[in-house]
């Protein structure tokens, strides 16, 4: 499974890259707004840190004509830009045209298998189903991931990768990986929660204590 970071924090991205845990980056208007930085320069910096891996930059428009113009600006930032569009008629039309021209497209705000099928038919590189937001309204978000993976597996002509979004906890990651989702995106703090296990902490403490008793030093 590829790990994308859902953040615009440059220090967090550099840290994940140093750990070998950065396979791409996703952003959205809300994330950019929280950063307080200028959009285009920030995306350029993120693309540099990402080292050629996909960086999703989202259009702000909702109508096709403006969306297409914004998409042209975004994909000119760097070769590793994935233009992010909403799962609307305008978004799917833009996705189809950009995909035909060789541009990666991430179709976002997916909440049903039918929507995911539309994105695949339009040539999307990634479909972003939102697990956590479905959980928030008492739907089983992970069931959506299972349905999309099953549908895509039935039709190998589709190259669209399932990018699990709105990830709130490590189990969202683990269960999605078991289902075969190719990508997930999460805040860095959620990714790092995968390190946590009480037996690891207990075992390491015992090793440190026993080594101290030997009075030795490796250095």
Q: What CATH number is given to the structural domain containing 61?
A: 3.20.20.70
pTM exceeding the 0.85 threshold for the entire prediction: yes
Could you report the per-residue pLDDT of 104-159, keeping only the tens digit for each? 999 999 999 999 999 999 999 999 999 999 999 999 999 999 999 999 999 999 99
C-alpha 7/C-alpha 119 separation (Å) is 24
For position 176, what pLDDT does the model report?
98
Domain count, the chain: 1
State the pLDDT confidence band at 68, using cuts at 50, 70 and 90: very high
Residue 49, pLDDT score: 97
The residue from 14, 34, 44, 84 that is catalytic is: 84
Q: Assess if residue 16 is contained within a domain.
A: yes
Please give the full DSSP string across the chain, using - where no structure is assigned. -EEEEE---HHHHHHHHHHT--SEEE--HHHHHHHTS-HHHHHHHHHHHHTTS-EEEE----SHHHHHHHHHHHHTT-TTEEEEEESSHHHHHHHHHHHHTT-EEEEEEE-SHHHHHHHHHTT-SEEEEBHHHHHHTT--HHHHHHHHHHHHHH-TT---EEEEBS--SHHHHHHHHHHT-SEEEE-HHHHHGGG--HHHHHHHHHHHHHHHHHT----
Q: 84 an active-site residue? A: yes
Q: What is the pLDDT of residue 127?
A: 98
- Average pLDDT over the chain, rounded to an integer: 97
Domain assignment of residue 92, given as a range? 2-214
Residue for token digits 């809300």?
Answer: 30
Half-sphere exposure of 179 (CA within 13 A, CB side): 25
Name the one residue in this structure whose structure tokens are 């200028």.
Answer: 38
Question: Residue 73 — very low, low, confident or very high, per pLDDT cuts 50/70/90?
Answer: very high
Residue 177: its pLDDT value, please? 98
Q: Is residue 140 part of a domain?
A: yes
Q: Does residue 219 fall inside a structural domain? A: no
Token pair 């996909």 is found at 54
- The model's confidence at residue 33, banded by pLDDT at 50, 70 and 90, is very high
Residue 85 domain flag:
yes
């Amino acid at each position: 499974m590829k790990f994308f970071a859902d953040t615009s924090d440059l220090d967090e991205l550099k840290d994940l890259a140093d750990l070998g845990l950065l396979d791409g980056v996703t952003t959205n208007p809300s994330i950019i707004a929280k950063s307080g930085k200028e959009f285009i320069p920030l995306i350029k910096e993120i693309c540099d840190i990402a080292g050629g891996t996909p960086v999703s930059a989202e259009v702000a428009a909702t109508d096709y004509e403006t969306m297409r113009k914004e998409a042209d600006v975004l994909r000119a930032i760097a070769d590793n830009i994935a233009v992010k569009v909403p799962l609307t008629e305008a978004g799917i039309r833009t996705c189809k045209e950009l995909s035909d021209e060789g541009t990666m497209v991430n179709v976002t705000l997916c909440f049903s298998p039918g929507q995911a099928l539309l994105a695949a038919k339009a040539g999307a590189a990634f479909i972003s189903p939102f697990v956590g937001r479905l959980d928030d309204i008492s739907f089983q978000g992970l069931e959506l991931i299972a349905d999309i993976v099953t549908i895509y597996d039935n039709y190998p002509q589709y190259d669209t990768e399932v990018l699990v979004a709105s990830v709130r906890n490590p189990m969202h990651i683990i269960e999605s990986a078991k289902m075969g989702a190719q990508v997930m995106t999460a805040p860095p703090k959620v990714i790092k929660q995968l390190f946590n296990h009480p037996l690891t902490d207990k075992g390491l403490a015992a090793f440190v204590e026993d080594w101290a008793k030997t009075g030795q030093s490796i250095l």
